[in-house]
Amino acid sequence: MTTNSHESRTAILQMQMSEFWSGDIGLTLISISLTVLIFVIVPLRQAGLSGRFFLDCVMVTLMVSGALVVNQNRIITVITVALVVIGAFVLWLSRFYPSPFRERLSSILAIITLLLYVRIVLLVMFRQGHVSWSRIQGGVCAYLLLGMAWASAYGLVEQLHPGSFHFVTDPTNLDQLGSKLIYFSFATLTTVGFGDVLPVFPYARSLAIAEAIVGQLFPAILIGALVAMAMQARTKT
């Protein structure tokens, strides 16, 4: 009797999460969280303020719920959830007890977690159904997440090889370094290139070239896929 009630509660929870992600709410919350993180929290961190903990908790919750809803192998789901939780734990452990090893491990896990989140968002986005505002939000979220993932990769390169980037004003701590590299990442992703942060190490330059290419190809491919979905849905009706 207890097993049946537990299974029924699990089924209800999964159904509620599926309804949450099938509408606009899930991707809307991701969009809001990423927008606040990139355009509000990151500049505040550069000024010496943090305030990231709440948004990190929201993002982890959305990652886990999204991983549980999308149609994928159970082993992949378990691995995804475990990496998300471990990544968040190591991130905050490296903040409270900083060390070179923890900071590098945090960067590696951040890259993996953000790329997994891109996959989750795209799987939710390209589920069957009509092209809606929710799918457009998913494309924007995936684009922003790619920029965050590349920023973590730049951070890892800088940690492994200090001096990989030239800054007009050198960062004084890890938070300022992360803020400047997020700024550089989105400037590169959109191919703006202001020139106040320059990659000088070969691997850093290779990453910047790769990000610039992805930044141009991703929107074009995404728009083409959405147009194809819209045309396919129209022919069926």
pLDDT tens digits for range 196-221: 899 999 999 999 999 999 999 998 98
User: What per-residue confidence (pLDDT) applies to 181?
Assistant: 93
Q: What pLDDT is recorded for position 153? A: 96
Provide the b/e sequence for 110-149 (b: ≥16 CB within 10 Å): bbbbbbbbbbbbbbbbeeeeebeebbbbbbbbbbbbbbbb
Quote the Cα angle for 60-79-72, to 5°: 95
pLDDT of 28: 75
Asked if 43 contacts 97 with a C-beta cutoff of 8 angstroms, the reply is no
pLDDT tier, 116 (very low <50, low <70, confident <90, very high otherwise)? confident
Torsion of CA 130, 227, 20, 65, to 10 degrees: 140
User: From CA 218, how far away is CA 208, in angstroms rounded?
Assistant: 15
20: containing domain = 2-236
pLDDT tens readout for residues 65-115: 777 776 667 888 888 888 888 988 998 888 888 888 988 999 999 999 999
CA-nearest of 214, 163, 165 to 188 is 214
**Residue 61 confidence class, pLDDT cut points 50, 70, 90:** confident
* pLDDT for res 63: 78
Contact at 8 Å (CB) between 47 and 68? no
Strand partners, 166: 198
Whether the predicted pLDDT of 16 surpasses 60: no
Max CA distance (Å), the chain = 67
- Angle at which helix 25-36 crosses helix 100-125, to 10 degrees, equals 140
CATH number of 196's domain: 1.10.287.70
Question: Does residue 139 surpass a pLDDT of 60?
Answer: yes
The mean pLDDT of the chain is: 81
pLDDT tier for residue 21 given thresholds of 50, 70 and 90: low
Of residues 148 and 124, which shows the higher confidence score?
A: 148
Q: What is residue 51's DSSP assignment? A: -
Residues of the chain with pLDDT > 70, as a percent, come to 80
Residues 125-153: what's their mean pLDDT? 83
What confidence score (pLDDT) does residue 149 get? Answer: 95
Strands (E), 164-209: 165-167, 197-199
Count: domains in the chain: 1
Determine the pLDDT at residue 1: 47
Identify the three-state secondary structure at position 52.
Answer: coil
* pLDDT band at residue 230 under the 50/70/90 scheme: confident
Supply 3's token pair.
Answer: 């097993």
150-171 per-position pLDDT tens digit: 999 999 999 999 999 999 888 8
